[in-house]
Structure 1
């Protein structure tokens, strides 16, 4: 009889266990198990990644400090390096690596989704297709997208990486890769980390040079996109090709 009463009491206690009775740093994990991942705030998800806080701050408190440092903008958080994150109170190298790794997995997931056969029909298609590669980059990169006769992507390739102010694109290298892949047309893409979509004089000169060479080789340049995190410039849409 006593054993039955004890069992009943334990069952009652378990059923009525409230999330508020758990230690602060354990709540995000338990909340995820009970309510699902969508029920967690950004701070709670980050708290799970870092695992623990400091003697004076819970993991959730530290996570809130991280978000405050980037204005609660996950896109800005994705731009932070391990070194940047370790400047925040309560974040050592191991925790910073966990955060950077998780955000990189998210980026790669987008990249995988975009890897399926993609047909390019407009400049927006180009922007969305290349976004996983260029989003959040602090430096310039130049990419080419090679298409078949049906305007389906055959391959995308990084041609060069540079500094904040620019990168170098070699037309010979670009057309060499296009010929090797037996591509029917080429799309040029590079990013402006500054967020300014306006083409520079060098951008315009390169585009003209590529257009002329492409016409000679029967490899038309369909577009040249200047990418920023929130917008883009299309040479084709603007009548510059």
Structure 2
């Protein structure tokens, strides 16, 4: 009986493999895609029922992959190795996307900056603040993660930005952060951060070129909108 079950599971897996090879994931229902992913965590056995359980429990594949590892392991049938594979996938996707743009050097347009930075925010469940240090030709010197968590313009963040700018001998910088499950419109804290960084850059002879905010589906640029002019005016600049 056990051998029969094993044979059934193996045959089912082969059918799923064949379907993926011929169609890709586009035609898969969420539980089918989750089942295929669970093949990576479980070399043998039934993963279909666990796939249904996970998608039903969390509501979607995205919610499964975004879930805390302890929450994943609280689901019956999910051990550490399975939870680690599930948490690995978004990070590997981010690594892949980042790898595709890592050789981009010229940050001379908002589009180029957005193309370079978007992968760094893919699938994140916390806010991160990045800084791009640029030379006088807008070529990238270095990309630095300044902070993780809510961006609130703390003195530590500003001092780190100043220190990194000086260390890189940058003539200009771009800062960028993400909003979690929200629009990319700037909050009052975002505008305050921009003003403080702009002022700090002027004090050391550098320029805040732009501040980009990324949502799950879009981004905005302070320079391409009214917000950078508003920041300059608040500092008495034109």
TM-score range, shorter chain: 0.7 to 0.9
Q: Indicate which of 1, 12, 24 corresponds to 2:9.
A: 24
- Residue 129 of structure 2 is aligned to residue 138 of structure 1: no
Q: Indicate which of 42, 51, 64 corresponds to 1:51.
A: 42
Deviations 1:27-56 (A, max 9, x none): 3356537963864641342131231688xx
Larger CA Rg, structure 1 vs 2: 1
Q: Indicate which of 67, 90, 100 corresponds to 2:55.
A: 67
- Residue 103 of structure 2 is aligned to residue 122 of structure 1: no
- Residue 147 of structure 2 is aligned to residue 174 of structure 1: no
Distance in structure 1 (CA, Å) of the matches to 2:20 and 2:225 = 49
Deviations 1:102-159 (A, max 9, x none): 3322221112222113322433433332223223323222211112233232211111
Deviations 1:11-36 (A, max 9, x none): xxxxxxxxxx9523553356537963
- Give the secondary structure class of the aligned counterpart of 1:95: helix
Partner of 2:91: 104
Q: Indicate which of 78, 82, 85 corresponds to 2:69.
A: 82
Partner of 1:13: none
* Matched-pair contact (CA < 8 Å) for 1:188–1:225: yes
1:174-193 map, 5 Å: 174-193=161-180
Gaps of at least 5 residues in structure 1 are 1-20
Partner of 1:5: none
* Matched-pair contact (CA < 8 Å) for 2:132–2:175: yes
Deviations 1:77-115 (A, max 9, x none): 332222122233321222111222233222211122221
- How many residue pairs get aligned? The number is 216
Greater shift after overlay, 118-127 or 88-97?
Answer: 118-127
* Matched-pair contact (CA < 8 Å) for 1:53–1:61: no
- Give the secondary structure class of the aligned counterpart of 1:36: helix
